[in-house]
Amino acid sequence: MKPNVSVIIPVYNTEKLLPRCLQSVTEQSLTNIEIICVNDGSTDNSLDVLQKWADKDNRIVVINQANGRQGKARNAAMAIAKGEYIGMIDSDDYIPANYFEKLYNAAVTNNAEIAICGIIKEKPAGNRTVIEFKESTVATTTKEKLQVCKCPPEFHPVNKLYSREMLERIGLRFAEGVQYEDVMFVFRAICESNRLVTVPDICYRYVLNSSSTVKSKQTEAKQLQKYSAHKAMTDYAEQNGITIPNRYKNLTVTHKSISGICLWKIKEKNNKRTLRLFDALPVWSWKKTEENAFNAPIDLVYMWVDGNDPQWRARRNSYLNKTESETSANNSEARWIENDELKYSLRSVELFAPWINRIYIVTDNQSPKWLNRDNPKIHIIDHKEILPADALPTFSATAIESCISNIPGLSEHFILGNDDLMFTAPVTQTDFFTENGHPIVRLRKAAFNKRKAHKKGNYHIILDRMQNLVAEKYGKNIFHAPHHCFDSYRKSIYNHCIEDMQAEWNHTAHNRFRNNSDMHRSYIGYYMIATGKGKLHKVGRYDLFKSFGSRIKAFLCGQYGSYSRCIPITTPNFDKVLNRYNPLMICLNDGENATDNDRKRMVEFLETHFPQKSSFEK
């Protein structure tokens, strides 16, 4: 028999409060329920507690997953829920014994897609009633539904029953990997439901404890996520003709407080931002600039090799020029060591760049053992599919890059990267291409030292040559090196540059190891800048701040916003760099001086930041 209600409980490190929550649910007067508990990578004994309760009550289903935050946990439960209605409870909260019976009966009796009751917040200092209903009311208009729910500002996914059929009909799920995932879920559910009924004389018990995410420190990332969630809500309201009070359109972008005293705050309303001292005195205003969306398909290309493969190593060593290359930094062991960085890079793609069209992994007759090749986005490209037969085998990234545009089916717009690159925050198509499809070319802000280039080895020698070539052919002097990150290209431009100097690129394709005579893809970036076919961006500390006021704030706080950051894996504290610069992308750069312990720390860092297995894995 189909359950009346599917109860969803995301669980993370609540072993002490979890038994009270489970007891309150299992003792419900409405017994025809299923209880789906999702252990979201708890590091305490929460999973053991869940399993013990599941052994006692066969209505309890336990899902165990790597930490992905509440949104992902709730979505995992909704994917298997069978109930007529869905109810949600946080694992540190609890409910009265007749909670689901009253909500379910009210919903069924009134043919309502949402039933809502009151909320009491329990704090160490005392309890406070947040929402309370004295009588049963049926609301059918959007205005009425939002008013009775006090939404905004209240965006509680708990204290409600939702029709599962409604959630499926409108395709509603939680945002994943972020906080404030409940804002759009609750707002859309209320607005798009057919009718809503209030249930009096019963309250959800919302417990605030020291480990609650609601009370956690307001970091820069958390402030940005709160702003993004509320901005999405106000945009949705405007697009659908929904009226909300003006005070909720005045969004806080970010702020700085000490000991509860607001030093300054940046507010936004109608795309105008204002810097306010002490949240009272406006000192600077500016108009927020918006970029139009670029929606053409964008592919992602990785170059990957399993340098630990003994057959591949034997093949490489048989071609290696021991007198010239074995001790060269250009062909050092650090370039070949495999640490499964690609696995974490793909996790970052699924988390922060889900709009990527196809993913091509270019490799030498290899495939990662963990890779799910049945994923429709994944395409393995062997070297023999794109390089000349007489150039194989090759052990040079520049040789492979010279033939990248030969990938069968590659989109006109594509992004090229190595497996040591990760997305660390949500990115959009316009982070890589302008609204008219021009690639964004990112160079280092610091000037390239041409005088010392020949003393620094192969890479700097080649960059110097590429800059000189572009200056000679197009009269444009560019004295900046590429910033090591995901680079964007157009296939037609890539092909043009290769056809324009075909002999030189063909020579590069036939160099099995890096060589000072190589052409390099930096030439294509310089060409796009010189001819106006690409947009130059010099990477610095203030990339993500579009206004003078926000840059002042970053300077005062020492909290920056970079498009990308290259972090040598010898760096003592990866998180310190990440928290200081808040980049959209990072490169974890291995090198000759790196040790096995450095690589171990790097993998631990990646596992901490990207713990959730992606659909690209078996």
- What's the whole-number mean pLDDT along residues 78-84? 95
Half-sphere exposure of 552 (CA within 13 A, CB side): 14
CB 73 within 8 A of CB 10: yes
- Kindly report which listed range (32-41, 278-287, 554-563) carries the lowest average pLDDT score: 554-563
Which has more pLDDT, 413 or 296? 413
Residue in the block written with tokens 């609204």: 435
Cα separation, 209 vs 93, in Å, equals: 10
- What's the whole-number mean pLDDT along residues 284-308? 78
Q: What is the pLDDT of residue 363?
A: 95
CB 393 within 8 A of CB 315: yes
Q: What is the pLDDT of residue 452?
A: 72
Q: pLDDT digit string (tens) for 144-173?
A: 999 999 999 999 999 999 999 999 998 888
* pLDDT surpassing 80 at residue 457: no
Domain 5-214, second-level architecture: Alpha-Beta Complex (3.90)
Half-sphere exposure of 49 (CA within 13 A, CB side): 22
CA 36 vs CA 90, 178, 180, 258: distances in Å: 12, 21, 22, 41
Name the band, by pLDDT with cuts 50, 70 and 90, for residue 593: confident
CB 36 within 8 A of CB 63: yes
- Kindly report which listed range (138-142, 276-280, 482-486, 559-563) carries the lowest average pLDDT score: 559-563
Cα separation, 566 vs 400, in Å, equals: 23
Helix (H), strand (E), coil (C) string for 502-562: HHHHHHHHCCCCCCCCCCCCHHHHHHHHHHCCCEEEEECCCCCCCCHHHHHHHHHHCCCCC
Which has more pLDDT, 88 or 308? 88
Q: Where are the domains of the chain?
A: 5-214, 217-287, 298-609
Cα separation, 344 vs 610, in Å, equals: 6
Half-sphere exposure of 492 (CA within 13 A, CB side): 7
Name the band, by pLDDT with cuts 50, 70 and 90, for residue 321: low
- What's the whole-number mean pLDDT along residues 63-80? 89
Q: What is the pLDDT of residue 467?
A: 92
Question: If 0-12 CB within 10 Å is exposed, 13-18 middle and 19+ buried, where does residue 253 land?
Answer: buried
Q: What is the pLDDT of residue 378?
A: 94
Q: What is the pLDDT of residue 214?
A: 42
Name the band, by pLDDT with cuts 50, 70 and 90, for residue 489: very high
Cα separation, 268 vs 438, in Å, equals: 29
CB 275 within 8 A of CB 552: yes
Q: pLDDT digit string (tens) for 569-578?
A: 888 888 887 7
The pTM (predicted TM-score) of the whole model is 0.57
Give the length of the chain: 618
What does the mean pLDDT of the chain come to? 86
Which has more pLDDT, 335 or 270? 270
Report CA torsion sign: 604, 606, 612, 613.
Answer: negative
* pLDDT surpassing 90 at residue 564: no
Pairing of strands 298-303, 359-363: parallel
Q: What is the pLDDT of residue 177?
A: 72
Query: Above pLDDT 90, what percent of the chain?
Result: 51
Q: What is the pLDDT of residue 554?
A: 46
Q: pLDDT digit string (tens) for 182-192?
A: 999 999 999 99
Q: Quote helix, strand, coil % in the chain, to nearest 5.
A: 35, 25, 40
Q: pLDDT digit string (tens) for 341-394?
A: 999 999 999 888 888 999 999 999 999 999 999 998 999 999 999 999 999 999
Of these ranges, 23-27, 165-169, 323-327, the one predicted with the greatest mean pLDDT is 23-27
Name the band, by pLDDT with cuts 50, 70 and 90, for residue 337: low
* pLDDT surpassing 70 at residue 591: no
Nearest to 311 by CA among 393, 372, 239, 238: 393
* pLDDT surpassing 80 at residue 557: no
- Kindly report which listed range (67-76, 409-418, 537-546, 582-591) carries the lowest average pLDDT score: 537-546
- Kindly report which listed range (397-406, 555-564, 568-577) carries the lowest average pLDDT score: 555-564
- Kindly report which listed range (32-36, 154-158, 259-263) carries the lowest average pLDDT score: 259-263
- What's the whole-number mean pLDDT along residues 272-285? 84
Which has more pLDDT, 231 or 562? 231
Query: SS3 for 384?
Result: helix
Name the band, by pLDDT with cuts 50, 70 and 90, for residue 219: low
Residue in the block written with tokens 């919302």: 206
Q: pLDDT digit string (tens) for 502-535?
A: 999 999 999 999 899 999 999 999 999 999 999 9
CATH match for 298-609 among 3.90.440.10, 3.90.550.10, 3.30.365.10, 3.10.450.50: 3.90.550.10
Residue in the block written with tokens 């010239």: 324
Q: What is the largest CA-CA distance in the chain?
A: 88
Same fold, 5-214 and 298-609: yes
